[in-house]
């Protein structure tokens, strides 16, 4: 049976002259608190603090990183619990066996780093996953989950989380967040994030019903464009009153372009009547985004944008299992022209702030670094989703830093539904950044003191600035 041990210098440079430097830098940040301003952990887990059900529903089923690689290796998603409301205990154990028996599929990926860190550092398990060890690992995790130390709130504290943002629908009543706020025994900070994407896509099949719901929840008539704007302002204010610090936007392109109010009303009426064309819907959606930017300049909520994702690339998978199961694929994106109208209007506004994320690495040095290197309102989001991997993280630092410096980036974003992977994801980022900074020290571009100070800023200073914490 192979033993799973974590090397203390994993992910630090292999170069023997740089590794000791990276080790010193990493020691400055390894135990700093976790600031997670963009994630997808259900707030109910912390509000109710109920024990987690089983290892599969906690570690495997909600993690689309794992699901998509297993699916690529011909493991049916249904056998992993995806989209299965009545997944039995026997099926959950069988799903975990599938994960362990396909362990080699994760070699060379950050998923392996995350899962190994969870097994060893959280559960104290040193058996390497395999078909032979699957049941033993499953039982050991299950035994831990039955103890008070592995309740959601206890883990939140154990992980050293200082701030955790969830992702929420504009019509959500945020009662789980309110429950946490009202609980005198709760000492953490969990904030909602305003995610209005579906309400900004007038060609969507459910858009009209969503806009009706927006009107009901806000108490504002949404039959007109002016009513839609007022209802959005109402819900943003509600979220901000419940602790929200940011809004989140993901569309097929990054274009943010205003049109006249009269034209917006005309297109909005067509959309409400179900008569809007695809091109007209794109025009209205880009105007909706401009309205969101204007609102951000007024209410101060930080705007985050992560465009250019081909959602639900395989129709059959989407029809059977729904969204967010690993079927999204990155696309090329253009920012410079796309966001010019928004930045012309609000780029130097004292309250406007935007973080641009991408999965298209080609825009880091060509567009995003230079934008953040001029506009005081612009921050570059660190690599995430598909490129939250060691090589991509190092490439990001090289591409952005030369034009924008270290201070114009967001701080690490874990973007995860897999709660127990949060510490591992942040640790990977800290190790990679320590390695990059060590290289600058080795080249005498930074002193060790400067590198250590910069490392601390990347972990706790940058996210606080970028998200106004």
**pLDDT tens digits, 55-66:** 999 999 989 899
| Interval 176-197 mean pLDDT | 97
| Interval 436-446 mean pLDDT | 98
pLDDT band for position 85 (50/70/90)? confident
pLDDT digits (tens, 9 = 90+) for 135-166: 999 999 999 999 999 999 999 999 999 999 99
Does the CA dihedral 188-112-458-435 come out positive or negative?
positive
Q: Is the pLDDT of residue 463 over 80?
A: yes
Cα–Cα distance measured from residue 91 to residue 94, given in angstroms and rounded to the nearest whole number? 5
pLDDT band for position 2 (50/70/90)? confident
pLDDT band for position 450 (50/70/90)? very high
**Neighbour tally for 57: CB within 10 Å:** 15
| Interval 209-216 mean pLDDT | 98
Q: Judging by beta carbons within 10 Å of its beta carbon (0-12, 13-18, 19+), is residue 112 exposed, middle or buried?
A: middle
pLDDT digits (tens, 9 = 90+) for 242-254: 999 999 999 999 9
Q: What percent of the chain has pLDDT over 90?
A: 95
Partners of residue 3 on adjacent β-strands: 127
Q: Is the pLDDT of residue 338 over 80?
A: yes
Give backbone dihedrals phi and psi of 34, rounded to 5 degrees, phi first: -90, 125
Q: Is the pLDDT of residue 187 over 90?
A: yes
Listed residue (341, 339, 314, 316) closest to 328, CA to CA: 314
Cα–Cα distance measured from residue 95 to residue 116, given in angstroms and rounded to the nearest whole number? 18
Q: What are the DSSP calls for 33-93, one per residue?
A: PEEESS----HHHHHH-PPP--HIIIIITT-HHHHHHHHHTT--GGGGTTT-TT--HHHHH
Q: Is the pLDDT of residue 420 over 90?
A: yes
Cα–Cα distance measured from residue 299 to residue 350, given in angstroms and rounded to the nearest whole number? 11
Q: How many CA atoms lie within 13 A of 4 on its CB side?
A: 20
pLDDT value for 52 = 95
Q: Where are the alpha helices (DSSP H) in 219-329?
A: 225-241, 261-272, 278-299, 315-321
Listed residue (370, 244, 347) closest to 297, CA to CA: 347
Given a contact cutoff of 8 angstroms between Cβ atoms, the answer to whether 434 and 412 are in contact is no
Listed residue (450, 347, 436, 430) closest to 399, CA to CA: 436
pLDDT digits (tens, 9 = 90+) for 424-440: 999 999 999 999 999 99
pLDDT value for 1 = 73
Listed residue (367, 344, 341) closest to 356, CA to CA: 367
pLDDT value for 137 = 98
| Cα angle for residues 206, 210, 213 (degrees, 5° grid) | 145
| Interval 348-371 mean pLDDT | 97
Catalogue all structural domains in the chain, each as residue range(s) with its CATH number: 51-150 (1.10.2020.10), 153-466 (3.20.20.140)
Poorest-pLDDT segment among 30-39, 42-51, 324-333? 324-333
Q: What percent of the chain has pLDDT over 70?
A: 100
pLDDT value for 124 = 97
Q: Is the pLDDT of residue 121 over 90?
A: yes
Q: What is the pTM of this model?
A: 0.96
């Amino acid at each position: 049976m192979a033993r799973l041990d974590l090397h203390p210098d994993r992910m630090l440079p292999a170069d023997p002259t740089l590794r000791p430097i990276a080790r010193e830098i990493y020691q400055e940040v390894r135990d700093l608190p976790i600031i997670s301003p963009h994630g997808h952990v259900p707030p109910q887990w912390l509000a109710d603090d109920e024990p987690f059900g089983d290892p599969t529903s906690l570690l495997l089923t909600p993690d689309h990183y794992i699901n998509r690689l297993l699916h690529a290796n011909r493991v049916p998603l249904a056998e992993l619990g995806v989209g299965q409301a009545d997944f039995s205990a026997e099926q959950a154990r069988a799903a975990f066996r599938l994960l362990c028996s396909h362990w080699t599929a994760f070699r060379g990926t950050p998923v392996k780093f995350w899962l190994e860190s969870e097994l060893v550092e959280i559960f104290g398990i040193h058996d390497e996953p395999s078909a032979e060890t699957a049941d033993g690992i499953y039982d050991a995790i299950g035994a831990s989950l039955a103890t008070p130390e592995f309740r959601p709130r206890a883990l939140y504290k154990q992980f050293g989380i200082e701030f955790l943002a969830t992702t929420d629908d504009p019509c959500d009543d945020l009662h789980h967040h309110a429950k946490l706020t009202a609980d005198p025994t709760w000492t953490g900070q969990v904030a909602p994030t305003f995610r209005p994407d579906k309400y900004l896509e007038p060609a969507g099949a459910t858009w009209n019903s969503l806009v009706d719901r927006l009107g009901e929840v806000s108490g504002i008539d949404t039959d007109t464009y002016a009513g839609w704007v007022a209802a959005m302002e109402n819900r943003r204010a509600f979220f901000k009153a419940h602790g929200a610090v940011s809004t989140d936007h993901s569309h097929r392109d990054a274009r943010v372009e205003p049109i006249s109010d009269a034209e917006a009303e005309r297109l909005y009426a067509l959309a409400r009547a179900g008569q809007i064309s695809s091109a007209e819907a794109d025009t209205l959606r880009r105007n909706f985004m401009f309205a969101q930017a204007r609102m951000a300049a007024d209410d101060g909520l930080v705007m985050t944008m992560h465009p250019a994702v081909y959602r639900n690339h395989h129709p059959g998978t989407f029809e059977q299992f729904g969204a967010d199961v690993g079927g999204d694929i990155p696309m090329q994106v253009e920012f410079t022209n796309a966001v010019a109208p928004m930045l012309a209007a609000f780029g130097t506004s004292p309250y406007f702030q935007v973080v641009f994320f991408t999965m298209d690495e080609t825009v880091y040095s060509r567009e995003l670094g230079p934008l953040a290197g001029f506009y005081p309102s612009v921050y570059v989001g660190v690599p995430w989703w598909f490129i939250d991997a060691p090589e991509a993280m190092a490439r990001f630092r090289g591409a952005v830093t030369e034009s924008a410096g270290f201070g114009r980036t967001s701080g690490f974003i874990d973007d995860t539904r897999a709660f127990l992977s949060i510490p591992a994801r942040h640790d990977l980022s800290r190790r990679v950044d320590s390695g990059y900074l060590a290289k600058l020290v080795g080249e005498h571009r930074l002193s060790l003191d400067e590198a250590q100070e910069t490392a601390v800023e990347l972990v706790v200073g940058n996210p606080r600035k970028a998200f106004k914490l």
